[in-house]
Structure 1
Amino acid sequence: MTKRLLIVEESLRDRNAHWFEYIKHISGATTKFGWTTQVACHKAVEDVIKQDLDCLPLFEYAKYLDSSKKKLPGEHYYGFILHSFRVFQSTKKVLRKHRFDYVFCPTVTVHHLLAWYVLLKLYPKSIKTLCLFFVTNPGVWNSETQKVMYPRSSKILGGILAKFKPYVETGKVVLGVETKGAKTEFEHISGVNFKLFPHPVPFSLDIEDRVNKPLHLACYGFARYEKGSDLLQDAILEIVKDSNYGHVHFSIQWTSPFDLPNGENCEIKSELKASNQVTVIDKALDTSEYINLLKDTDAMLLPYRNSSYYARVSRVAIEATNMGIPCVYTKGGWLEDTISEYGSGVGIDDESVEALVQGIKELIGNFKDYKTTSSQNKTRSIAYFQPSNFCNQLLANG
């Protein structure tokens, strides 16, 4: 008998964010396992998405999509209760009529938890197994102490999660995360066991033949403070001024300025734009453009700040390990965990231009060795991050 999976994502409305591709990959993989998949999504979901997914347009409100809208008086304090009520009202319409072997919620926050706790109580036969998946973490990284701090709001989150403990212990509920850091933090605040899953990336390409071409180091994705873009441009400038590195070419994507914590606007430097060793990508890339650039990339530069990426996934990093591309990356968080296990490269200290410069020079000087290790590890990377492995682990209790 065919098993039924329900994916619940209130923010699936259009193709502007990652939800469509993410859910599409999962739905495709589960179909190969013989499951039928439906997707509970936003009421205003695009028709093109309906063509690819079996959609149930349920949700009028979405926490992520509505974040910029004007709040009701006092909503800052009771908003998580209000949103849970809205989620409950929308989701119960489906659970009243249908039973599912597995219900998967891919981007859960505190604003959804009370709804699912009540739904489990009222419709236990409609949900054989429920997976509540968290892509953010409750702690805040302190760059000065190099430790995680927990805001007061984490006590509320931990208290609600603790209510799910009996369900977790019986296997009725699976609490999932994508990083070791997030797993540690959630278990710390709740006392409940969390399961670590891979981030599904169905992506692996062969690198173009780059014989007799300049060594090409790149950083793709919109320039941001949290990605260390300000540090990276300073490091690149220092290296291109050194005549010993005239054989190296850099690409950096910088579509618009961004704000620094002190309020200053960080723009791409004119010296960088003028250098014949640097390509500045000043527009968003479509899929084919991005793929062509990846094929022509020798090394990836990822000086992401731990204040944002300590327990956060970077899809670009996974694409690099899947392709056997060595990286320069920040030590002390998810990047180090992942690249050291599934790829190779040079780990550097957080928020240090000097360390970034030395890391890039080390990678350039010993590129063949790092490339060999990355190429040897790419098979394991592809196997771990492919959607079928994610679905195998996800549906193990289904």
Structure 2
Amino acid sequence: MSGRPLFCIADPSLRDFVGHHFSYDHAVAEAARAAGFETLVLGHRALPEAVARQAGAVPAFTDDIWAQRAGGGPLRRRQDALMRNRRFGAEFQAALPARLPPGSILLAHMLTHRQLLGLARVTEALPQDVTLVALLRYQPEMYDDGLSARAFARMRRAVAAGAKLRLASDSARLARRIGRLAGLPLEVLPIPHIPADIPPPPPPQGRPFHLVTLGNARDEKGFLEILQAIRLLRAEPGGLDGLRFTLQANDAAPAIATAIDDFALEMPPQVTLLRRALSPAAYDTLLAESDLVLLPYWRDIYEARTSGVLPEALCAGRPVICTAGTWMADELAFHGAGLLVADHDPAGLARAIRQARAAWPQLAAGAMAGRAGCRARHGGPALVRALMEPPPPPLPAEPPRRVQLLYPWPDFLERSAGASLRSNLMAAVVASQVEELRVMQDGAASPRRQGNILVESLQERRLIQLTKRLGWGAMLLLAGLLGGPSHRREALFPWLHLQRLVDPFFRRRMERLIAGSDAVLLEYGFWAGPVLRICRRLGVPCVLTAHDVIADRVPGSALLRRLTGWLEMRALRRAQALRGGAVVAVTPDDAARFASQGVQALVIPNPVDLQAMSRQLPAPARVLLERLGHELPDQPIALFVGSYHPPNLVAVARLRSLGAALAARLGPQAPLIVVAGSAAPAEEAPGFRALGRVHAVALAALYQEARLALVPLPDGTGSSLKTLEAMAAGLPVLGTSVAFRGLAVADGVQAVVADDLATWEAILPALLADPARLARIASAGRALAASYDYRRVMAGYLRLLGLPDNPPPPLPALLGAAPASRGSAPPRLPVFSGGNLPTG
């Protein structure tokens, strides 16, 4: 060696021109030589001699970064990954000179968990005047395993002992997330491969508008969506006139190759498929001949991950079409010009292509204007300069972009209970301030997306479902033996806490979801065991909402109540102890209970959507009810709304007796007590009418037609959403004190409070006979409900997450189908089917 410091690039996947490994290594090596370094590029042993000469590379590595054992169980796969780590470390060390000059830099890039432990071994063996840089540019789950955890631990010890190790990524989004895993800061490096100084394209007048894809054909690069968009454009009037497509279709996976072959059978003349990998020169020529580059990459993969194609296009002054809410969208905001499309949206991509063709002069001018800034920020010289300078300070904290909401029931979209309504309203507020909010609920419903909210279901395997049924049966048997047959059903709540603890499929699903999130909102503590462990390991903050005191749901068996209380408090304590974690209670009484056991909870009460409760109906209330099959006699209506929940069942029994007593005493002048929701099946009795589950519009009509609301709850935890909704709808409320738990209600002012049900027979007719008093109570109640409007109340979650506290827009349509059942019981059946009028 010449004695100059060495700049060594270790790239196990450098084996041909496919991908960006060659262009990356070539650009960095050239820049390093220009900066005065000796250079050494270490590639794969299968590297052809001609490519090796062009790259200035030495074959060194047996495995590329994706090499793995085909098949085998978890133990075999772990052993295989450990073997490849050892081989990578040994081959890396063997390829280095025996003595590295001071100031040398070793750059190992595009690594996965199959190289990290080997890299830690290299770090420990290097002299302290040599810098090792590890560039990690894949999704966090690539580094979320036992071997990576061991590697990061060894790297932390090596850094503490003086090793010059720098972890880096090329995306700030990735750097923050992987940094949480590593326990070390990650810096953000420039992307080195940018094209030569390509001239701007000529104006498209008199020639087709040329759209291209660059790089090999992969599903996550939106290749299938591009083919479908071309089909949609071809079917429109005018077809593909004025358009031209050149698509790199080389090295496709079997499923993609089949789709490409099917497309080729009907391929229009305006489309060219390039079936072989391009040389660097041919690649640059295709970019130079383009007018726009298509990048509809899948958001799941590229939300934080980078693509070298984008800086190449922007540095060439070419507009792009890329996916919204991704790293690419961030870069587009810095440099260049282009259009954003929704994820997995061929129709939106087709529209964007038409729009780009119409706006090409403006897009081309914007792209050329941003080119200089992009070339200054990226490129090989920029990367080498960054590594020659001292490491920058750690990235500053930023508000979460992607939030994961975990909901343990299958009714999130149905809003069939108080829990789903509250979670819907909270989701609407949080989603208004983040890039994406993802909801994972129990059950097997198909995914649904509205705007930036994605609702998915667990979709459990049959084996897990069978195991859970067997476990539940064993739990019932044990509870019956220990607590007596009459209390064995109270085993439900400890079972909900325990059932996920030993479910490996659930744990792996949570690991993937949480690794790709910046914060977690956990509804109830039932999933807290695995979820909080993952959050702690990944460094992801979690806010746990206790919708009520679960132990109070187990009144009969002292043993089951103690077990439930212990599991509940353990979940709350772990959430509180989590870095960035918090606990939310829905009433001051619940918060006081938790505080007495050492958990400090922020009170965010149950909310109501005030605007939705006062929306105008399309026809008179009675007319709508008749259209929906609910013909009610011309009597004053007193309304109760409730789900199939034990306190609601008791309330219905009380109302049935009250209706009979009033009918016997007052005859036709008696009010009619109407029950809506699954708390009672359809039924007619003297002074009493149960409608069962009703349409959302029917519920809205009932709120408008009723004279007052009745809420004779015997007990309950949390706060009652049915009470707030009635107040928000402008109804005066007569209820027990339990009905107003957590609400600042004064008897006779905002409501009428009476715990002795024997007095209701006199109170109810007297209230109906005094319209002025009812109006005063209704007005005060609605004013109270206004202070609980979800836009105001749910802003507490924004503050916990460090998000801007701005008013959200109206609820998205996805969250707008509302049921007529309020209560925090585990949902059994949706209370409404259909409907599109929110009630809360």
Residue type at the aligned position of 1:192: L
1:1-398 correspondence to structure 2 within 5 Å = 2-15=4-17, 18-43=20-45, 45-49=47-51, 51-52=53-54, 57-59=59-61, 61-64=62-65, 66-67=67-68, 74-93=75-94, 97-100=98-101, 101-125=104-128, 128-139=130-141, 153-154=144-145, 156-158=147-149, 160-165=151-156, 172-203=164-195, 204-210=197-203, 211-243=205-237, 247-253=241-247, 254=249, 265=259, 267-269=261-263, 273-274=267-268, 276=269, 278-284=270-276, 285-397=278-390
Residues 212 and 328 of structure 1: CA distance in aligned 2, closer, same or farther (over 3 Å): same
Residue by residue over 1:286-327, the C-alpha shift from the partner in whole angstroms, topping out at 9 and shown as x without a partner, is 444443333332222221111232233323222211121111
Asked whether the equivalents of residues 155 and 189 of structure 1 are also in contact (C-alpha less than 8 Å), the reply is no
- How far residue 376 of structure 1 moved from its aligned partner, in angstroms, is 0.5
- Give secondary structure in 1 for the equivalent of 2:321: strand
Cα distance in 1 for partners of 2:373, 2:361 equals: 20
Q: Paired residue for 1:147?
A: none
- Give secondary structure in 1 for the equivalent of 2:140: coil
Residue by residue over 1:29-51, the C-alpha shift from the partner in whole angstroms, topping out at 9 and shown as x without a partner, is 11111111123444555433554
Cα distance in 1 for partners of 2:15, 2:212 equals: 32
Asked whether the equivalents of residues 189 and 386 of structure 2 are also in contact (C-alpha less than 8 Å), the reply is yes
- How far residue 13 of structure 1 moved from its aligned partner, in angstroms, is 4.5
Asked whether the equivalents of residues 123 and 158 of structure 2 are also in contact (C-alpha less than 8 Å), the reply is no
Residue by residue over 1:241-267, the C-alpha shift from the partner in whole angstroms, topping out at 9 and shown as x without a partner, is 333676521314245875559x98564
- How far residue 76 of structure 1 moved from its aligned partner, in angstroms, is 0.3
Greater CA deviation, 243-252 or 221-230? 243-252
% identity of equivalent residues:
19
Residue by residue over 1:122-163, the C-alpha shift from the partner in whole angstroms, topping out at 9 and shown as x without a partner, is 4435x62110111322249xxxxxxxxxx9x44652453244
Cα distance in 2 for partners of 1:43, 1:298 equals: 38
Asked whether the equivalents of residues 200 and 386 of structure 1 are also in contact (C-alpha less than 8 Å), the reply is yes
- Give secondary structure in 2 for the equivalent of 1:280: strand
- Give secondary structure in 2 for the equivalent of 1:356: helix
Cα distance in 2 for partners of 1:129, 1:364 equals: 48
- Give secondary structure in 2 for the equivalent of 1:226: helix
Q: Paired residue for 2:729?
A: none
Cα distance in 1 for partners of 2:262, 2:311 equals: 26
Residue type at the aligned position of 2:325: G
Asked whether the equivalents of residues 198 and 384 of structure 1 are also in contact (C-alpha less than 8 Å), the reply is yes
Listed as ranges, the gaps of 5+ residues in structure 2 are 392-840
RMSD of aligned Cα (Å): 3.4
Task: Report the number of matched residues.
Answer: 382
- How far residue 213 of structure 1 moved from its aligned partner, in angstroms, is 1.8
Asked whether the equivalents of residues 114 and 160 of structure 1 are also in contact (C-alpha less than 8 Å), the reply is yes
Residues 72 and 303 of structure 1: CA distance in aligned 2, closer, same or farther (over 3 Å): closer
Cα distance in 1 for partners of 2:266, 2:307 equals: 25
- Give secondary structure in 1 for the equivalent of 2:23: helix
Residues 71 and 296 of structure 1: CA distance in aligned 2, closer, same or farther (over 3 Å): same
Asked whether the equivalents of residues 343 and 378 of structure 1 are also in contact (C-alpha less than 8 Å), the reply is yes
- Give secondary structure in 1 for the equivalent of 2:220: coil
- How far residue 346 of structure 1 moved from its aligned partner, in angstroms, is 0.9
Asked whether the equivalents of residues 87 and 115 of structure 1 are also in contact (C-alpha less than 8 Å), the reply is yes
Greater CA deviation, 263-272 or 109-118? 263-272
- How far residue 116 of structure 1 moved from its aligned partner, in angstroms, is 2.9
Cα distance in 1 for partners of 2:134, 2:78 equals: 23
- Give secondary structure in 1 for the equivalent of 2:115: helix
- How far residue 394 of structure 1 moved from its aligned partner, in angstroms, is 2.2
Greater CA deviation, 366-375 or 286-295? 286-295
- How far residue 268 of structure 1 moved from its aligned partner, in angstroms, is 4.3
Residue by residue over 1:178-208, the C-alpha shift from the partner in whole angstroms, topping out at 9 and shown as x without a partner, is 1223212202323321011121123131134
- Give secondary structure in 1 for the equivalent of 2:38: strand
- Give secondary structure in 2 for the equivalent of 1:243: coil
Residues 229 and 268 of structure 1: CA distance in aligned 2, closer, same or farther (over 3 Å): farther
Asked whether the equivalents of residues 256 and 267 of structure 1 are also in contact (C-alpha less than 8 Å), the reply is no
Asked whether the equivalents of residues 26 and 55 of structure 2 are also in contact (C-alpha less than 8 Å), the reply is yes
Residue type at the aligned position of 2:198: L
Residue type at the aligned position of 2:348: A
Residues 291 and 53 of structure 1: CA distance in aligned 2, closer, same or farther (over 3 Å): closer
Larger of the two Rg values belongs to structure: 2
Cα distance in 1 for partners of 2:163, 2:365 equals: 42
When normalised by structure 2's length, the TM-score is: 0.41
Asked whether the equivalents of residues 52 and 58 of structure 2 are also in contact (C-alpha less than 8 Å), the reply is no
Residue type at the aligned position of 2:212: A
Asked whether the equivalents of residues 39 and 54 of structure 1 are also in contact (C-alpha less than 8 Å), the reply is yes
Greater CA deviation, 67-76 or 159-168? 67-76
Residues 43 and 332 of structure 1: CA distance in aligned 2, closer, same or farther (over 3 Å): same
Q: Identify which of structures 1 and 2 has the higher relative contact order when contacts are C-alpha pairs closer than 8 Å and 6+ apart.
A: 1
Cα distance in 1 for partners of 2:372, 2:165 equals: 32
Residue type at the aligned position of 1:128: V
When normalised by structure 1's length, the TM-score is: 0.82
Asked whether the equivalents of residues 256 and 282 of structure 1 are also in contact (C-alpha less than 8 Å), the reply is no
- Give secondary structure in 2 for the equivalent of 1:175: strand
Asked whether the equivalents of residues 171 and 397 of structure 1 are also in contact (C-alpha less than 8 Å), the reply is no
Asked whether the equivalents of residues 18 and 216 of structure 2 are also in contact (C-alpha less than 8 Å), the reply is no
Residues 123 and 356 of structure 1: CA distance in aligned 2, closer, same or farther (over 3 Å): closer
Asked whether the equivalents of residues 117 and 147 of structure 2 are also in contact (C-alpha less than 8 Å), the reply is no
Asked whether the equivalents of residues 20 and 308 of structure 2 are also in contact (C-alpha less than 8 Å), the reply is no
Cα distance in 1 for partners of 2:281, 2:124 equals: 47
Residue type at the aligned position of 1:201: H
- Give secondary structure in 2 for the equivalent of 1:110: coil
- How far residue 91 of structure 1 moved from its aligned partner, in angstroms, is 3.5
Listed as ranges, the gaps of 5+ residues in structure 1 are 141-150
